[in-house]
Each structure stands twice: as structure tokens, then as C-alpha cells.
Structure 1
Amino acid sequence: MFDFFMVFRTYIIFISLFFGSLISASGQTDSIIHSHYNFANNQDLELLRNIAETYRSELDSNKVHSANITSFVARIMTNRPLASKLLQESGTQYFNQENYIEALKCFKLSLSILGDNKEYSFVASTYNQIGKSYRMLGSYDESLEYIYKSLKLYEKLYVKYNKTTYKEGIAASLMDIGNIHYNLKAYNIAIIYYKKSLLIYKELFNHNHEEKYKIITAYLLSNIGVMYKNMGEHFQALKYYDKSSKIFTETNHKIGLAGVFDNIGMVNLELKNYDKALRYLYKSLELWEDIDVKSSISNTLLNIGQVQIKKGQYEDAFNSFEQSLSLAEEIGANSICIENYKYLHELYFKKKDFEKAYTYHHLYSTMKDSVYNLESTNKIAEIQISYNIEKKEHEIELQKAKMKAQKKQIVLISCISIIVLIFSIVFFIQKVKQKTANKDLVKRNLDIVESEKRLINIKKDQEILIKALKDKNVSIEPPKLSQNRSGYILPESHKQELIDKIVYLFEEEKIYTQKDITSDKLCKMLNTNRTYASKVINEYFNKSFSDLLNEYRVKEARRLLSDFQHKNYSIEGIAELVGFSSPATFYRAFKKFVGVTTSFYIKSLESKRS
């Protein structure tokens, strides 16, 4: 299968630096260089000296040889950003040459040379390159550590400066994290990071309409397809490959399109659609040959041979594998050679040509072991770079500190668990108490309702008595009020008149059921002004007019809710009957005067009735 990750890393290349002519500084020595910068060891100095040798012929256009390498290095060290960028560029060259250990040396020394004079965008970029180098060496923990450093730094820079460059850095870091999880075979996690990166690149393209964002988007879609393919979700993989191929076709990006065709072919191989697989693989091969990428031509021929075996076309498969092997040996693509040796061994074994079968099996085993040992050597060398003697001396102390911290964490977690348990118990007890208190409140309210019903019956008896007295020509009238005496102190007799009239209007006339009742309307009914009416209500009832109004309404609502005849009424219907203009106001007033919510009150009533 075509490796997009290998192609993509070569897609981004740093812009070459331009430097002015150098002034001769002969007579400076290594000790002077060390006075500018304290190198960790002589190897670091040697590395920088080699870089100086590489660039001297380019920078010294007049071929002035009087300035030796040592003086050139000393000159560079007076400008640390220049030295750091030289090292980073050299690291990038080593990376593209697949010499990842030397690349790491350059990138790390590039950061250390900067010292306190750090350009944070440069640091973020270098963190990213270190992370990629570790990934190629198979040190995925270290790779993730540096890529996350890069991501966090880009995020801070973007928040502070809001520049597109930093947003690109965030997207690239997310994609690199996805690549690491791909290597770890955590395909589902890789998809998450690819999709996060994809969203940012789509946003960048929608804002800037630069073709490079569109192409990167296509690579990400293809990467997601690879993940789904590896997870066995072939049709989902084909869906993403199709999206990717459309973009590559639109932008005429042959490298990307060739890779997608290769991947589609291999999915169809797994789906046993062999003819379709071959069609796409031959399309891929044609594009690779047009671009002349030998490693990819060799890889695609290898894939074609696999399909031909499945179709029983053994002679065609022989030709494909031999062509693939010839190119792979020419360019030193050992991983492709290994696969070719394996399949050629199988084919010769089927032909019963056991001598050649043994030869290819021997080549397969030998090279596989050789590659494995080379990888091991690279990893060991990288560990030597990453972990110096000072860190090793502190390993035991760090382990002890870690164990101590873990013990503290266990104690802390235990304490927090106990506190949470205590709070949970207290909360539960409070809830039980609250529920009991609410039930008591409901019981008291029901007792009040029963008392009010008895009072209503007494009033009915009084009305019968009054009617009987009227029949005997005895005049009984509601209390009357005299004219408004604005500006005078209200005599006690008139206060009592107002109180009696208010009680009559609320108890008998039930004016509170009128939605539009106001204090002004009440004053007109009382034939007095607002000052006197408010004063009487506040002194006698010990509350404002609105509270008095809502209290009577809630009392009536409580009575109606308790009445079996109104059991089919909705709460909103009851609220409207007693004069509330909105359910929300009714709910608040009910909770205030009754002490429990309407829903709890109704549930308690239903429980009592059942």
C-alpha cells in the first residue's frame, strides 16, 4: 500500500537562507568559540564545524580562503539565530535523506544554541521536526512529547497573535499526532486527530482559497481512508478515497492521485474484486511512471503481483515481482525487496523449483533480520542522544519521588472519597428531611383547606340568617365608607371601615379572581386614595397589596386543587381561574405561600386519595 506519510514529509521544505559576505576573523581558536557558547561536548562543536564547511563555499563567493573553519564557526556564534537556523536547515536536509539520528542532533543543538533569545515560532517548528524524527526512529513516546510541545506552543501563539501561520502549525501538529497513532496501530484515535486537522485545513482553505490547503485536505482524507481500511471498514475507506481522488484530480496533483489509486486497488484486493483492483493499480502505475518515482513504481508493481497471484496469473505475477525487485534493489528499498523475496519464494515453491524457492527464502530471512537489527541499532543510538548521563543518575531518585507522589495521591483520593461519601450521606439525610417536611407542609395546608371549608359553611349559615332577617325587614348592609379625606390623618373609625370593606371585597366579592385588578381599582371600590389604602393594608394585613392579592389567589387555588370536583383541571387552568395571568407567576406564588411546589402538592394529594 502506498505510504502517504512518507510522501507528505517531503512535500514541505524550508526556504533557503540568504547570508551576506563574511569578514575574515583569523586567529580565533576553539577556546574563543567556547567563550561564546558552552557546548555540551566536542561532538556538538564538530557538528557545527562540519556545517560551516558545507556552507563556506556557498557563502564566500570571492573564494577567500584566509578565514579558516574555526574562525567561520566563531563568526556564526556571534549571531546565535543565524547558527540555529543553519542547524535547522541541515537537520531538514538530513531528515529528507532519511538520516534521522543526524537530523535529531541538528534540531536539538539548534534549540540549545538559541539560549534565552528564543523565537517561539521557530521553537514550535523545531519541536515539530524533533517529534517527526523520533517517529521515524520508532520512538513514539518521545515523538508524542515533542509534537504536543509544538501543538501547545502554536496554540498559545495563535491565541496571542491570531496569525494564519500558527493555525497551520496547529493543524500540522494534529495531523502528526494522528500519524503517530497510526504507527501505534491505534487507528480509531488516529482518525480523531486527522478529522480535527481536516476541519482546520478546510477552514483555512475557505478563508484563503490557497491550493496548498486543498491538497493537504486531500491527503488527510486519504489518511482517514487508510485508517478505515486497516480497521476492516472497506466501504468507509473507499468513501474517503473517492473524496480524496476528486480533489487530487481537480488540482492535477499526480502524486496524491497515484497514491489514492494504489490504495483503492488494495482495498478491492481485500474485497476480492480482483479485476477492479488491477484497473486502479495500473492507473497508479501509469502515473508513477510519468512522475518517475522509482520507489512508488516498485511498490505498485509489488501490489499488482499480489492481485495476479489471486487471479491465478502466475507468469504475470513473476514478471511484476521481478520488475519490482529490480527497481527496489537499484534504489536500496529493503522493505520492498523483502516482500518481493517472500512472494517469489511462494511462486517458485508452487512451480516445484525448490532451489530458487530456497534461494529467495534465504534472501527474505537474511534481509528481514538485517533490517530488524538496523532498526534496533537506530533506536539504541537515539536513546543515547535522548538520555544523557545526568538523567540516568537521577533515575532512582525520580522513581522514588514518583512512588512518594503516588502514595500521596492514594491518600488524597481516599480522603476525597471519604469526604464525598460523608457529603452524600448528609445530602441524602437532608433530602429525606426535606421530603418529610414537605409532606408535613402539605398536611398542614390540607388542614387549613378543611378549616376554610368549615368557615365557608358557617358563612353560608350566616347568609341564611341574614336572609331571614331581611324577610323580617331588618336592614343589613355591607360597611360603607365616607368620602376621601385627603390631607388628614385617618381616624380609627375610618380605618376600621376600610378594613371591613377590604375583607368584604376579598372574602365575599372575590375580586382577586379578576386578572386586571390593581391597587387603583381597589381604591375606587373603597372610595379612598392609594396612600390610605396602602397604609391600612400594610398595618392590618402586614403585607403589600400584591402579596395580599397573590395570597388570596393561592388560597383559592389550594382549595380548588384539593376539591375532587376540579381534579380534571390542569394547573394552568386553575391558575387562570384564580386570577393569575401567567403560569410562571402562579408557580412562584404557590411555592412562596404554601411552601412546596405545585407538582409535589398534587402528587401528595393523589397519594392520599389512593
Structure 2
Amino acid sequence: MTKFFETYCLSDVYKNIINNLRVSCVNKVKRILPIFLITFFFIQVVSCGRTNKRSQSLYNLHEQCYWLIYHNDYDSLKQKAELFLDLSRAENDKNAESYAYICLAACELTGGKASKAKEYLNKAQNIAINNSNDTIWAYALNLKGIYEARVNYNIFSSQQCFYKSKQLAEKAANYRQVAAASINLGALATLTRDTSFIKTVKYAYEYGRQTHNMHYMMGGAQTLSSLYQIAGNPVEAERYLDIAISINDKYNFHHDGVLALTQSYISLDRGEHLKALNEAKEGIERLGPSQATMLPQAWLCMARIYMAMGDYRSALESLKHTKDVSRQYSSYGYMSDVYELMAQCYYHTNSPNEALEAIHMVSLEQQSSRETMRKQLSAEHALLQEMAQKENVSEMRRLRLSHQIWMSAALGMLALCLFSVIIYMVVSRRRREKLMRSVVASTRQTVAAEDKIDSLCLGISSGTDVSGDGNQHATSSDKKTHNKDIYDRLCRMMIVDRLYADKTLTRESVIERLGTNRTYFTQLLQENCGMNYSQFIASYRVKEAIRLLSDSSRQNLSVQEVCSMCGFGSTSSFYKTFQASTGVTPVAFRKFSLKQSVDR
């Protein structure tokens, strides 16, 4: 029975504890973790759904504002932009708020309220920089470039704004904004008569053609027509102008005035003065509110046509209109040309005093132009420094935002891992306690059953008297019976005499009491219980320890006292032997055993 206890009951339980514990815990986690993840993602989906519903109205307003700009309907745009601004503030959407400011700035700039437009532009630009949004910043810089060109007539600052807008749009992969900045750079090039921007504008035209964006295609064709006319290529100029006119007529983009003026320049270069005059008049009549800043250029074009026709008095009237609208729209860049042409007209109309005065005004305008140029260069330098500084701030914010996103993701994953570990530990602890209680219960039952069997075997063999040495038994006719008798005698010595409780017990003393030799004794143990001497003695000591630790009346005994009473030489050997046999430590065994006794 000792062999059965050691080999089948205790060792098998101990061997299976870890495997059972691991399998059960993994199964628990496999059941719990998917539920947790499904719940987590369900909450995220619900929250995202609510967010999408709230942001859908913002998206719709964004698209409506874009199409109103696309069709130059600035009256309706202002109403939509104000509604867009209120809703974006309510939703705390900074990107939408900055775009609303850009739309409002476009409306104010078109209506001639430059100071209000600048205020909105600064707000939009600051929000874009703080949120590291290159797309919104590109929109703001593009509109700021238009502001610099129309209001301050600062070609250098305007060009820098368009360049930077184009770079930011390329960085953000916003090719629509790249095309818009390219067209604006081409429009500036028509003022400075710089034909090197033809390739840049062609990109915008090709983008509109490939994406079927007729607005950019028409704008690119119109600008290319002007640039080719400046470059002295009337064939290409007329070809692109025809494309722009056909797109404008088909989609009703309200660019009739601008196209008529472009056509008048081409007709003037051809010498078709009457046709050019009619086209210039048509252009002035059809220029819309958003194109009113082109009126000085239109009236100047008409004056040149009249001069080419020899009608200097009509040319003077056109030049006076040019001065008036230039002052109205703060477009003073044409004044030098105006006074120069006025001097020629006065000369041809025999008004020398007025001609001299006009020449004097030309020198004053040129001096003023040089001063303005100096201020513009200074302003451009300041603008470049400001843009570089804001770009550095934007980059720092972008890096910080990226770092925060990664940190949030890492913390989320860490929290999820910790939650999983806690679940695993809780489930493992409960499962381990359950297994421990099962081990303790089965061990106690096994020991109790062995005690009964040992008592029965002891009663059966008590009437048998075994004497003599092992050699005499070895020569008898029934060797197996005598071996069994000696083994029963050994068991009786352990149960009745409690030899195992003696710390000084040795193999030689047991052999001497049995009256046999070492070889026979070793063979006897191996045949009957499958153990050696140390394992045999340890099995009785462990059983005695189990009885003492399970006895609630002896719970005041310390582990050291139990160790001494069971015959172990040291506490460390007691712990090692007990745990190897039962799978639990003596302290844990007592804890669960006494708890089961209380529960019963």
C-alpha cells in the first residue's frame, strides 16, 4: 500500500498539478479575454458612431462652403461660413473652425473689408499651426497671398505665401491645393511678365483635366493664355483662351469679364483695335464683385487701346478712371504707368504744363515705388522669418502630438495587458486553491485508507512468528512466503514501534533488528514496494506528518515540532520531502486541510 500511496496517489497528483493549472487558467483567459475585447470594441464603435453623426453635419457644411467658393457665390458663402463656425466651436473641432475662418476671410476680402479679412486669416493660421495641420495652413497662406497681392500690392510677399502654400500642400499630399497655389503663382507672373511659370501653371491645368475639376482646368487655361501672350506665342495663347471660354460657358463660372479682358490683350497685340476696345468694355461690364480688384488693370488696358487708336482724350478719361478705382481698391502699383501714359496723352493733346506735371508725378511715383519696394522687401524678410518660426513651432507641436499618440497607444496596450494579467492571476489563484483542496482531500483519504489496510494486514500477520536469518529463509521451499513475512514484520515495526520517528534510525539498525543482510534487505524492499530504504522510511514519515497536520486538535503544533515528531533531521529536508510527495508545502497542506475540517 505504501507503494500505491507514493507512486499512484501523491506523485501523479503532483505531476498533474501544473499541467491542470496551466490548462484551466488558459481556458479561463481564452473565455474571458474575447468577451472583454468584444465589449471594448463595441463601446468604441458606439462612441465612433455618435461622433460620426455629429461630424456629418460639419462635413456637409465644409463641402457646401467649398462649392460656394468654387462658384464664386460669396453672399451665400458668408451665411454658411458663420453657421459652420458656430457648429465647429460647439463641437470643439479646431480644424473645422480654422477652415470656417478662411471662408469668412475670403468673403471679407471680396467685399473690400481687408482689415477684417486679415483678422480672420491670422486666427485660421494660428489654429492650423497649433494643431499641426499643414492642409489648413496651406489654405490660409494661399488666401494671405491673395490678400498681399490685392490689398498691399506686395508681389514679393504674395509670391512667398503662394510658394509656402504649395510646399505645405505637397507635404500634406493635398494636390488640389497645390494646383490652386500654382495658378495663383501664374497670375502673379502675368503682373511681373515672368513667363518662367508656364510649367507650374501647366501642372494645375493637367491636374484639373485628369481629375475632371473644371474650375482648376479653366483657371489654368486662362492663366496660360495670358502667359503665352506675354511670351509672344499668340497661337498657344488663343488655344488656351478658347479652352477657358468653352469651360466657362459650359459650367457658368462667371469669369466672362476676366476672359474678355484676356481676349482684348490678344486682339490689341494683333492690331485689331476696335475688337480689343469692345472686348475691354465687355470685360469691365462683366467683372463680378470677386473680380473688382481687376478694374484698374481693365481701365488701363482700355486707355492703351484708345492711345493705339489715337483717341488721346478718351485715353485720358480711361486713365482717370484707373486712378479712381486704384484708390478705391488700394491698388497703387499701376499709378506710375498711369502718370506716364497721361504725360504722353497730354503731350499729344498740346497740354505741355499738364504733361510736365504728369512727368513730375511719374518721378514721385517711381520714388514712392522704390520706397514701397524697400518696405516690401523688409516685409518679405519679416514674413519669411515669421513663417520659419511658425513652421518650427508647428513641427514641434507635430512631434509632440505624435509622441502623445504613441504614448496613449502604449498606455492603452499596457492597461490591457495588466488587466489580462490580473484576470489570469485571479483565475489562477482560484483554480490553484481548488486544486490544492482536491489534493489535500485525496491525500487524506488515501492515508486513511492505507491506515485501515495496514491495520488489517497487521492483524492477519500477528499470529505468524518469523525467526532466523535471511539465509535460512532463502533455502526454504516457499521463499516468497518467507519474504512476505519479513516484509510484514518490517511494516509492523514501522506502524507499532514507530521506528521512522527516530531521527538516528539507520539502515544497519533496521537490518540488525530483522536479522538479515544489506543485499537481501535491499532486494526485499524493491520486490515488495518498489522503493529503496530512504524512500520507504520517508513514506511513513510523510504519512505521519499528514496525520498530524490534518488533526485540528494539534493545530497548535509548529511545523518544526511536526518535523521533529515525524523523525526528519531538518526542516529543509522535511519541506522538500513533503512537497515532493504531496505536491504542496506543509503550511499550505495544513491551511487547506483545517479549512476543509471547518467546512465539514
Q: Which TM-score tier does this pair reach, normalised by the shorter chain?
A: 0.3 to 0.5
TM-score (norm 1): 0.43
Query: Whose RCO is larger (CA < 8 A, sep 6+)?
Result: 2
TM-score (norm 2): 0.43
* Structure (1 or 2) with the larger CA radius of gyration: 2
Indicate the structure with greater helix content.
Answer: 2
